[in-house]
Structure formats: structure tokens, C-alpha cells
Chain A
Amino acid sequence: MSTEALVPWLLVVPLTAAILTLLVPERMRAPVSWIACVPMLAGAVLITVLRTGATIYSFSGWEAPLGISFTVDGLAGGMILLTAIVSAVCAVHARTSLRDEASANAWFWPLLWFMWTALNGVWMSADLFNLYVCLELLGLAAVGLVALRGTPEALSAALRYLLAALLGSLFYLLGLALIYGSYGALAFTTLSGVLEAVPTVYVALALMAAGLALKTALFPLHSWLPSAHGGALTPVSALLSALVVKASLYVLIRIWLHLTPASGSLAGAATVLGLLGAGAVLWGSWMAWRQEKLKYLVAYSTVAQIGYLFLFFPLVTSGEARASGLAYDGFVLMLISHALAKSAMFLSAGNLIFAVGGEKVSDLAGINRIRQTSMVSFGIAGVGIMGLPPSGGFTAKWLYLQSALITGQWVWIAVLLAGSVLSAMYIFRVFHHAYLDGPPQATFRTPSIWLESSAMFLALSSVLIGLSAWAPLEWMRLPIFKGSH
């Protein structure tokens, strides 16, 4: 079976699963989803193993630019595998954690499958308008998942998220209208290298970047994220922080790498994005330290970590081939290890909240007395977020540091180091409360083995990825960065 034959199945299987989970009775939706995770994981693994170079698949038999084509290269393949692993583990967690929530138990599963379809579409699509439709599908699925809790706070968080997502999509569509109105094509293969350094192109790209930055919650456009991620059900928070928020950033990266005019200078735009990322790191970490509720702390941590991802832009446009290659490697590794560590952190936080029966960080007092698995997995995930060796977060920051040292960009080195210190502050705050002795009559519930092992699996993966980083980096390197090592 070749990679090309696998591509359509990556969309067909989740859509079929969405249809099935809508038709079967409610108690069968979780088992059906578990069964459907198997071909998704198998397909993702096969694509990683079998892929050589970039595979192009033309839907409906018409090649771009008339039809829509999908490109599966290293970056896309890696994101497909990451999505499969994180989604499958969150599905395992959701079956147990959502069993007592009447409405969420039934309707989480179709929304999960729509979200998975949209994610696969975003990673692979090589057509600007198809990316718009996939991002809309993803955004609406995510909003539905946030609203699933049904409480007024969850509904207002969902409305805030929806307004931000819709505004971001409209800006993206405006940029798309300008590009199609000028050049008459929407496919990456046709447009790449064609866009000139004229005002129309700059306005179009700036609009698209603004819309995508709003959807990725880049500081200062991040105000929708903490209540949406912090107030949602636990597996939903994990999926949103790990995968959904990265999708719009991925589209921005694709546009940056393939569509930006070769002749013009991008240094100004890159510096702006880098400064906003630095702001995100500092502001997000500071707000995380100040949070009372555990899941809101983790949500603000996502705001901070997204800032690190945006440091990619100034580091990759430095002009030095070796520095650009290192910046790309650091970015890819940070995408993967943050997804694994943040989903582990959210699942662990959910388990801890279930165990102590309270949502605040101060409610964790005394938890060191019972089975500590969730606290340990939270700690391991925290190691990844802080960037301590041997986690993937450390290796990613190390690659960033090397890239910044080569080109002498001291500002970003300062941001990386300051961010690590600040993240240590809020992670250790959680530990401080957990090791305080609680009141003697405090009772704790024990999370089931499914909940704890799913969190632990993701936490251990985020460390494993740091130890064996060379393999995924090799697989996911794009052709423009090969040969710079």
C-alpha cells in the first residue's frame, strides 16, 4: 500500500466514525470510537513509515489549480501521527471521565470525530480555500466541545471563543480574496514563488497572519483562551491546547515558508511576531502564576508556550542557513513536546480535581497522602513545560538557543531564559500546595486506572521525545532545510 492510497482514508475514516457515532445508541458511542481509533493510528503510523519525499494527492481526479490537492511531506506526516496519538489517548480518558455527564457522554464523540477530520485536513491541504473550510470545521467543533459542559460559564466561554474564531476566519478570507483577485489561483503549487513584493500581497499576507494569530491566541489577542481551555471538560481542554490551537499556527507557517515573496524583506514582520511571542511568554507565565484555579493556570501556561512557538519567525529569517535549520528543528520539536506535555498536564489536572473534589490550586493540599500517580504525571509534564532535561521541551529550547547564538540575537535568548524561570515559578507553586498537609478530615476519591494511565502515557511520551529527538526531527525536516546540518 503506497502513501498515496492512504491519504483519502485519513479523511474518510473520521467522517464515517462521525456518522456512526451519530446513529448508534448513546452507550455504544464510546466503544465505536475506540474501535475507530485503531485504523486512524494504523494509518498515521503507516504514513510515517512508508513516506519517501512528498506525496501529492489530487481529490476528484483534477490536479491543482483546477482541483484541490493534498501534500503529505515530513511536517504533515508528523502532525498526523501526533494528532492520532493525542486524540486516541484523550478518547481513552474521555470514556471514563465523561461517563457521568449526561449530555457530554453522548455528544462528545461526534464532535471529536469532526475535529479529527478537520485536523487531518489542515495538516495535509495545499489549497488556500480548502484550508479555510477545514479551519472553520475545526473552529466550530472546538466551540461545540467547549460549550458541551452546559454551564453558563462554559457557554459564555464558548461564545467568546466563537466570536474570536469567526473574526479570525474573516480576516483570513479577506486576505484570500485579495490573493485570488490578483493572481487568480488558490493552490500552493501554483502560487509558490509567484507572489511579488507589492503592497497588495503585503496587505493580503498581513490580514491572513492577523486572522491566524487571533485563532492561535497570540498575545495580545489571547483573551478568549483561558476561559475556553480552563473552563472546558478535561479531555476537551487537552485536545484544544495540544492540537487545535496549533492548527492555525501551522497554516501560518505554511504561508510563511511557501508563499511569502522571495524578493521582499520579512525581517520586520518576523520581529513583530517575535516580540508578540516574547510578550506572550512573559505575560502568560505571570498570569499563570497568579491563577487560583488549577485548570486556568494550565490554560495561561498554554498562552505562554504559544509565545515560544512564535519565536520561530525571527530565528528562521536570520539569513544563516544553519541557524534557520536549527530554528525549524526547535520549532517542530517544541510543537510535538508541548502537545504531549500540555495534554498530559490537563489530563493530570483533571484527575487531581476529581480526586480532591475542588478546582483551586489550594484545594490540592494533602494529596501527597494518597496514590500519587496523577501528581507524578503532572510533575513529569511540568518538566517538559519548564524545559528541564531530558524532556522534549529542553531539547527544543536548546535548539532555539543554538540558533539564536549563531546569529547573535540576544533578545530571544533572554526571553527563552526568562520564560524558563517564570514557568518554574508556576509549576512549583502547584507542588508547594500539593505537599502541604491538608486538614485531617479531607477525603479523596481515587481516579480510575484509565484516567491515570492515559495522563502518565502522554507525560512519559513528552520525555521520551526528548531522549530520541533525532528520529522525528529527521522525518519531519522540510526540503528547504535539508543540507543545513
Chain B
Amino acid sequence: MNPRTVCAAVMCGMLVGLLGLAITMRPEAVITLPERVAAELSRSGVSHPVTAVLLNFRSLDTLLEIGVLLLAVVVAYALRETQADPADRMGLDNRLLHAVIAWLFPLMLLVAGYLLWAGATRPGGAFQAGALLAAAGVLLRLAGIRPSDFAHTLGARAVLVFGLAVFLAVGLGAMAVGGHFLEYPPAWASPFIFGVELALMLSIGFALFSLFELAPPHPVSNKGARERSET
């Protein structure tokens, strides 16, 4: 047992011990936010409390996290330009896969649309739908169906920023009618939230797919193969 392992084990034991101590000796709560959420839910524009928190009460967090996702794609773009990548087929020549995708892809799009719609009343919403869209794109890519050099066009970047832009526009619009940033007028809250979620779904789906697409392909040199077999 080398010193690094022992040291790590001691530290992790201490961490779990401290966490256990903290869990067992918890003080009492001073405020119950779930009651507040339930009280204001009718004015929030949706009837599912988690969606209300995400897109109304704490919408600034959602805005910033879209920025985080977009940022990851920007870095992927930046690194792609420092080194030219060879054309990569990245496709599996599996006829069963191709046949299944013909059925699966439209179904995935349909389920993504349903998840987006359902987010207002039950678990669902923009992130789940976007993740499903990205998965559909990855599946297509794995089957070897490659979009033409779309990644480098202005259209790709426009789709990426579309969600963030719509979110900012809605927020500024709320300020224009006299409220705070992202303070939806009560009558318009529902359609605004749905509109923002639709834009977010498209951006999140494309962003997650881009992160898969923009990572450099597998190196084919022998040196790479030797390294890969090391543990």
C-alpha cells in the first residue's frame, strides 16, 4: 500500500465521517420553501413545481447554466481549429442498426416533443427533451449518417446561441413592460415559459450533439494504440 493510497483512504474516511456527523446532528429548518412554492405556483404559469422553480422563480440559474453549456461548445470549436482533424467515418456498418434507426429516429423526435410539452404539468421540460434530441443525433452519427460540414457554418452557431438569445430577449421584454428582468407578466407567463423552453430544447440538443461531434476522432497511429492498451 503506497503512501498515496493510504493518504487518500484516510482523507476519504475523514470526509465520510464528517458528513455522517453533519447528517446525524442537523439543526432545525428556519423556513419551508416548498410551502412558498406551492402558494405561488398558481401565479407561475405552469403547474409542475420543479418547472416553476427552474423557469420562473430561479430562472437566472437556468440562464447561466445554458451559458455554461454553450461555453463548453465554444471551447470545443476553439480547440478544433488549433489542429486539423482528418475526415472520420465514425460509423458502424451494421445493417440492423440502420434498419432500427429508420423506426427509432422519428419516435425519438416525437418523445422529445412530448417531454417538452409535458414539462408544464409533470416531470419533463427543455433539458430532458434536449438530451433526447442529442441522443437521436448521436445515434444517427454512430450509424455513419454524417451531416455535411454544418459545424463550421454560421447556421450551426446560430442554432447554438438561439436558446440563450431567446431567454435574454424574453427577460429584456419583461423589463420593457416595467418589471424586473425575467419577471413574466402573470397572464403571459405560460406562453413565455413554453417559448423559452422550445428554444432551449433546440439549443441544448444541438449543443450536446456538437460536443460529441467536435471531439477529435480516434488516432490511428501505433503510438496511440499502445497508449490505449495501458491501464
Contacts known (A8-B180, A15-B164, A59-B182); A111 close to B74, Cβ less than 8 A: yes
Is A114 a contact of B71 with CB atoms below 8 Å? yes
Cβ of A53 < 8 Å from any Cβ of B?
A: no
Interface CB pairs A-B, < 8 A, 12: A22-B74, A57-B180, A59-B59, A59-B60, A66-B36, A106-B78, A107-B78, A133-B68, A140-B75, A150-B83, A178-B23, A200-B23
Is B32 close to A, CB under 8 A?
A: yes
| B85 touches A (CB below 8 Å) | no
Task: In the complex, identify which listed stretch (A180-188, A384-392, A430-438) lies at the interface while the others stay far away.
Answer: A180-188
B19 within 8 Å of A (CB atoms): yes
Q: B161, A103: Cβ atoms under 8 Å?
A: no
With A8-B181, A60-B180, A103-B82 as contacts: A117 and B175 at CB distance below 8 Å: no
- Note all chain B residues with C-beta closer than 8 A to A57: 180
Q: Does B213 contact A (CB under 8 A)?
A: no
Are the CB atoms of B71 and A61 closer together than 8 Å? Answer: no
Does chain A have a CB within 8 A of B29? yes
6 new A-B contacts, CB < 8 A, other than A16-B168, A19-B168, are A22-B161, A117-B64, A133-B68, A136-B68, A182-B26, A199-B22
State A436–B222 Cα separation when bound (angstroms). 49
State the CA gap A130–B65 with chains docked (Å).
Answer: 10
Selecting from B94-102, B115-123, B152-160, the interface stretch reads B152-160
Is the interface on chain B under 10, 10 to 19, 20 to 34, or 35 or more residues?
Answer: 35 or more
Q: Is the CB of B21 within 8 A of A147?
A: no
Residues of chain A lying within 8 A (CB to CB) of residue B30? 183-185, 190, 194
Most chain A beta-carbon contacts within 10 A, residue among B40, B154, B180: B180
Whether the pair A130, B60 counts as a contact (CB closer than 8 A) is: yes
Does B151 sit at the interface, judged by CB under 8 A? no
Encode contact with B along A115-144: 1 for CB under 8 Å, 0 otherwise.
001100100000001100110110011011
Is B179's beta carbon under 8 Å from chain A? yes
Contact A204 B22 (CB under 8 A): yes
Q: Which of A59, A110, A199 has the most CB of B within 10 A?
A: A59
Answer yes or no: B27 CB below 8 A from chain A CBs.
yes
B77 at the interface (CB under 8 A from A): yes
Q: Is A357 an interface residue (CB 8 A)?
A: no
B27 x A147 contact (CB < 8 A): no
Provide the bound-state CA to CA distance between A103 and B81, in Å: 6
Cα distance, A207 to B184, chains bound together (Å): 37
Q: Find out whether the CB atom of A68 lies under 8 angstroms from the CB atom of B58.
A: yes
When the two chains form their complex, are residues A66 and B40 in contact, meaning their CB atoms are under 8 A apart? Answer: yes
User: B61 — which chain A residues lie within 8 A by C-beta?
Assistant: 68, 129-130, 133
Shortest Cβ gap from A311 to chain B (Å): 27
Q: Contacts A8-B180, A184-B29 hold; do A66 and B57 have CB atoms under 8 A apart?
A: yes
Q: Do A140 and B180 touch across chains, with their CB atoms under 8 A apart?
A: no
| Residues 15-71 of B contacting A (Cβ, < 8 Å) | 18-19, 21-23, 25-33, 36-37, 40, 56-61, 63-65, 67-68, 70-71
From A60, A134, A144, contact of B58 by CB (8 A): A60
B74 touches A60 (CB 8 A): no
CB closest residue in chain B, given A130: B61
Report Cα–Cα, A143/B33, bound state, in Å.
35
Q: Determine the chain B residues whose CB is within 8 A of the CB of A148 once the complex forms.
A: 78
Judge if A428 is at the interface, Cβ distance under 8 Å.
no
Q: How far is the CA of A59 from the CA of B59 in the complex (A)?
A: 8
Chain B, residue nearest A7 (CB): B181
Q: Which of A422-458 contact B (CB under 8 A)?
A: none
How far does the Cβ of B156 sit from chain A's closest Cβ, in whole Å? 10
List, in ascending order, chain B residues with CB within 8 A of A16's CB. Answer: 168
Task: For the complex formed, measure the closest distance between the CB of A43 and the CB atoms of chain B, giving whole angstroms.
Answer: 14
Are A185 and B171 interface neighbours, CB within 8 A? no
**Residues in chain B within 8 A of chain A (CB atoms):** 18-19, 21-23, 25-33, 36-37, 40, 56-61, 63-65, 67-68, 70-72, 74-75, 77-79, 81-83, 154, 157-158, 160-161, 164-165, 168, 171-172, 174-175, 179-184
**B18 contact set on A, CB distance < 8 A:** 203, 206-207
Chain B hits for A58, CB < 8 A: 180
Interface flag for A410 (CB, 8 Å): no
Residues from chain A with a CB closer than 8 A to the CB of B22 are 178, 199-200, 203-204
B65 interface neighbour in A59, A133, A203, Cβ under 8 Å: A133
Residues of chain A lying within 8 A (CB to CB) of residue B172: 12
Q: Which of B25, B63, B77, B165 contacts A19 (CB 8 A)?
A: B165
Count the A residues whose beta carbon is within 8 Å of the partner chain — how many?
Answer: 61
CA distance A68 to B83 in the complex (A): 42
The answer to whether the Cβ of A62 comes within 8 Å of any Cβ in the partner chain is: yes
Residues on the A chain within 8 Å of B58, using CB = 60, 67-68, 129-130
Are the CB atoms of A15 and B67 closer together than 8 Å?
A: yes
> Is A320 among interface residues, defined by CB-CB distance under 8 A?
no
Residues of chain B with a CB closer than 8 A to A178's CB: 19, 22-23
Residues of A within 8 A of B70 (CB): 18, 114
Residues of B within 8 A of A61 (CB): 174, 179-180, 182-184
The answer on a CB contact under 8 Å between A144 and B67 is: no
Q: Which residue of B lies closest to A155 (CB)?
A: B79
A477 to chain B: closest CB distance in Å?
28
Q: A8-B180, A103-B78 are in contact. Are A196 and B27 (CB under 8 A)?
A: yes
A65 sits at the interface (CB 8 A)? yes
Q: Is A198 an interface residue (CB 8 A)?
A: yes
- For residue A8, which residues in chain B have a CB less than 8 angstroms away from its CB? 171, 175, 180-181
| Min CB–CB distance B165 → chain A (angstroms) | 6
Bound-state CA distance A199–B19 (Å) is 10
A84 to chain B, nearest CB (A): 19
Chain A residue with Cβ nearest B183: A61
Q: For the complex, what is the distance from the CA of A126 to the CA of B201, rounded to whole Å?
A: 29
Residues of A within 8 Å of B160, CB to CB, are 22
Bound state CA distance, A190 and B30, in angstroms?
9
* Residue of B71, B81, B179 most packed against chain A (CB within 10 A): B71
List CB contacts (< 8 Å) of A47-92 with chain B. Answer: 57-62, 65-68
Nearest A residue to B80 by beta-carbon distance?
A103
CA distance in complex: A370, B115 (Å): 67
The reply to whether B82 and A60 form a contact with Cβ atoms under 8 Å apart is no
Contact between A137 and B180 (Cβ–Cβ < 8 Å)?
Answer: no
A153 to B104, CA, bound (A): 43
Q: Taking CB as reference atom, which chain B residue is nearest A125?
A: B60
